[in-house]
Structure 1
């Protein structure tokens, strides 16, 4: 099936004659919103990347996880999460150990330094979310988060 045939049911029959306005398309709008958020994040938290922060935050929630589990919990593929974990380990923010029952499996957990770092950065992370969502009302924020979760 051609790309045009796949797109037709969603775009309607007149779509081929309609001008393509980038700002009317979800990918472009999401990318702009993400760029805004990433700029705010890097301005306030310069010592961690958003994926590194996400890994620390999720480990705080779950206690410990395998590398693959952690990747799934923060929407990252196996190759990407491995690099994130390696960098966090090199900085002493996580510990890697063998699983208690299955010695072939490795588990990742926060180190004391990782817990301290997360505690220090938590308020900044809340402020970044607030600033990212600042143009929206409380109701709009809740709707946006609900709708994005629905398509994510």
Structure 2
């Protein structure tokens, strides 16, 4: 048997106590904060992909999709838009021309430092209502359920 969830409504269903509803509200709050701070009009998925390329270095589009937790169709669109913005370069893999290798363009590389700084600000603002201990616990719990 799984762990029992504390139910303040004595078994009655209350949307306000459902994890999916609360996660969606938290995500909406975070997205609003993200949009207020983002650079170059990047979407959250574009931001994620760009940071992952910076962390990983040159990688295939499929590998980038796995690193960024995006399906094949989503990562293709994200990569196309980042290329259009001049933030990444794409070249065929030397041993398999059907595969694309993604890397940061010089413009993309220059943007990584400021993106990391704004990323910290976004996280700080998102978590601002929580104490430092609550922030650490929330991140620990989210990693556990992901």
Q: Same fold (TM over 0.5)?
A: yes
Matched, 1:119 2:113: yes
Matched, 1:91 2:85: yes
Cα deviation for residue 80 of structure 1 reads 0.6
Cα deviation for residue 120 of structure 1 reads 2.4
Cα deviation for residue 122 of structure 1 reads 2.1
TM-score, normalised by the number of residues in structure 1: 0.85
Cα deviation for residue 99 of structure 1 reads 1.6
Query: Would the alpha carbon gap of residues 48 and 63 (structure 1) be closer, same or farther in structure 2, given more than 3 Å must change?
Result: same
Counterpart of 2:46 in structure 1 is 52
For these two proteins, the number of residue pairs brought into alignment is 142
Which of residues 130, 137, 146 is equivalent to 1:143?
137
Structure 1 CA distance, aligned partners of 2:13 and 2:139? 27
* Helix, strand or coil at the partner of 1:128: helix
* Helix, strand or coil at the partner of 1:104: strand
Q: Which has the larger radius of gyration?
A: 1
* Helix, strand or coil at the partner of 1:23: helix
Between structures 1 and 2, the one with greater helix share: 1
Structure 2 CA distance, aligned partners of 1:18 and 1:151? 23
Counterpart of 1:25 in structure 2 is 18
TM-score, normalised by the number of residues in structure 2: 0.88
The alignment's C-alpha RMSD in Å is: 2.1
Structure 1 runs (4+) deviating above 4 angstroms are: 9-12
Aligned ranges for residues 30-45 of structure 1 at < 5 Å? 30-45=23-38
* Helix, strand or coil at the partner of 1:103: strand
Structure 2 CA distance, aligned partners of 1:11 and 1:123? 40
Structure 1, gaps ≥5 residues long:
1-8
